């Protein structure tokens, strides 16, 4: 993750922090709240760079301090992460010790606690004291994807900063930059707003297989030369491995189906499966708009029912049967 992207990724957050810094109204504790992959941790480091940068335009990302923060070697920036799914009292004590040492350099000190919802009670009590009587020029950044699980006493002592979901474009761009093919990147960016999750999906060994299966079904449907039900029976074992696969498959069907509807209503720019234009056009010509929407509703309703105990095979057969009907 390039730090120069934080400004584009979370412009509102950067604006808020920049203004507070300029007006000398920084809070001693911030709670960065937002879903996974919204760059809360990177923004916390960026904030530390803002405070410690010695360059002209702050943060310059290039001075000795900025570089040390990026490389996680600056003694004034201390990061705590859960150990075995929990933040313990000893970690808070270690932090306090660390900041009282002489090897800390003059200037602001920043500690970042990631996944603050994982803090245990005794650690939380120590932290609360620290938050109530902050050391001078010391700033806390707490991050969470689960604000509902955080003690109200922690929330009330910090300024909550909301992180917006990354938009599709950014996820798509990041995937392409990381070396994924542009068609895959476009599809995956429509499955999630989180970069972390997107990379996970793109790296899933079954992803391409499920993607191919979804495309095959629509292609067979368009060609109308064999039964998609039989094809599905022979090639779908992967779908039944676990619900994640099944959900992924359904999500892909839904995106494809929406593409066909978008084609039908002339919204070509929003089409995701760009390499499938022939098939999309073909099916859009065969089916009416109302029918396509009805089919989409069936897909959505099956997605909702996947979490309950349903006969998945039967449910898929029913769905495919209605898709195949001429
Ligand atoms: Zn700098």
Cα–ligand 1 centroid distance for 70 (angstroms)? 10
- Please give the residue that has the higher pLDDT: either 3 or 234: 234
Listed residue (282, 284, 310) closest to 295, CA to CA: 284
Cα–ligand 1 centroid distance for 112 (angstroms)? 19
Same domain, 32 and 102: yes
Cα–ligand 1 centroid distance for 1 (angstroms)? 17
Domain span at 91: 3-165
Cα–ligand 1 centroid distance for 279 (angstroms)? 52
Assigned domain for 46 exists: yes
Cα–ligand 1 centroid distance for 246 (angstroms)? 47
Cα–ligand 1 centroid distance for 283 (angstroms)? 55
Cα–ligand 1 centroid distance for 71 (angstroms)? 13
Same domain, 269 and 143: no
Same domain, 80 and 220: no
- In the predicted model, what is the mean pLDDT of residues 59-84? 95
Contact 131, 99 (CB under 8 A): no
Same domain, 295 and 219: yes
Cα–ligand 1 centroid distance for 76 (angstroms)? 14
Q: What domain count does the chain have?
A: 2
Assigned domain for 261 exists: yes
Q: Which two tokens stand for residue 252?
A: 């892909």
Q: Distance (Å, rounded) from C-alpha 99 to C-alpha 79?
A: 12
Cα–ligand 1 centroid distance for 54 (angstroms)? 5
pLDDT at 90 over 70: yes
Cα–ligand 1 centroid distance for 55 (angstroms)? 5
Cα–ligand 1 centroid distance for 51 (angstroms)? 9
For the stretch 282-313, pLDDT in tens is: 999 999 999 999 999 999 999 989 888 889 99
What is the sign, positive or negative, of the torsion defined by CA atoms of 202, 82, 45, 23? positive
Same domain, 26 and 76: yes
Instruction: State the SS3 of 171-234.
Output: HHHHHHHCCCCHHHHHHHHCCCCCHHHHHHHHHCCCHHHHHHHHHHHHHHHHHCCCCHHHHHHH
CATH number of the domain where residue 237 is located: 1.20.272
Q: Which two tokens stand for residue 191?
A: 């499955």
For the stretch 119-165, pLDDT in tens is: 999 999 999 998 988 788 999 999 999 888 898 899 999 999 999 77
Cα–ligand 1 centroid distance for 21 (angstroms)? 15
For the stretch 17-44, pLDDT in tens is: 999 999 999 999 999 999 888 899 999 9
Cα–ligand 1 centroid distance for 105 (angstroms)? 15
What is the sign, positive or negative, of the torsion defined by CA atoms of 94, 95, 99, 103? positive
SS3 label, residue 273: coil
Contact 98, 90 (CB under 8 A): no
Cα–ligand 1 centroid distance for 60 (angstroms)? 4
pLDDT at 76: 96
Assigned domain for 12 exists: yes
The C-alpha angle with vertex 177 and arms to 59 and 112, in degrees rounded to 5, equals 40
Same domain, 143 and 280: no
Cα–ligand 1 centroid distance for 176 (angstroms)? 28
Q: Which two tokens stand for residue 202?
A: 């793109």
Peptide bond into 254 cis (omega under 30): no
CATH number of the domain where residue 89 is located: 3.40.50.300
Cα–ligand 1 centroid distance for 68 (angstroms)? 10
* Residues 6 or more apart whose Cβ sits within 8 Å of residue 75: 103, 104, 105
pLDDT at 244 over 70: yes
Confidence (pTM)? 0.60
Among the candidates 137, 165, 193, a domain finishes at 165
Assigned domain for 246 exists: yes
């Amino acid at each position: 993750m390039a730090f120069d992207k934080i400004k584009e990724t979370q412009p509102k957050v950067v604006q808020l922090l920049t203004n507070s810094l300029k007006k000398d109204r920084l809070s001693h504790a911030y709670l960065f709240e937002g879903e996974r992959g919204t760059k809360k941790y990177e923004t916390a480091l960026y904030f530390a760079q803002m405070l410690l940068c010695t360059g002209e335009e702050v943060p310059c990302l290039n001075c000795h301090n900025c570089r040390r923060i990026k490389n996680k070697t600056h003694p004034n920036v201390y990061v705590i992460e859960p150990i075995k799914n929990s933040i313990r009292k000893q970690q808070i004590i270690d932090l306090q010790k660390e900041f009282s040492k002489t090897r800390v350099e003059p200037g602001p000190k920043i500690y970042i606690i990631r996944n603050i919802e994982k803090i245990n009670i005794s650690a939380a009590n120590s932290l609360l004291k620290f938050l109530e009587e902050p050391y001078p020029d010391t700033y806390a950044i707490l991050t969470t994807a689960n604000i509902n699980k955080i003690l109200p006493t922690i929330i009330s002592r910090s300024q909550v900063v909301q992180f917006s979901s990354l938009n599709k474009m950014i996820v798509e761009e990041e995937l392409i930059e990381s070396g994924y093919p542009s068609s895959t990147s476009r599809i995956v960016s429509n499955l999630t707003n989180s970069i972390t999750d997107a990379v996970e999906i793109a790296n899933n060994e079954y992803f391409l297989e499920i993607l191919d299966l979804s495309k095959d079904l629509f292609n067979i449907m368009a060609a109308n030369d064999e039964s998609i039900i039989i094809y599905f029976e022979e090639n779908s074992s992967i779908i039944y491995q676990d619900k994640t696969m099944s959900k992924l498959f359904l999500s892909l069907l839904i995106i494809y189906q929406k593409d066909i509807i978008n084609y039908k209503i002339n919204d070509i720019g929003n089409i995701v499966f760009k390499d499938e234009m022939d098939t999309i056009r073909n099916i859009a010509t065969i089916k009416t708009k109302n029918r396509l929407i009805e089919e989409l509703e069936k897909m959505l309703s099956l997605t909702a029912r996947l979490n309950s105990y349903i006969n998945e095979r039967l449910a898929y057969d029913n769905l495919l049967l209605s898709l195949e009907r001429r």
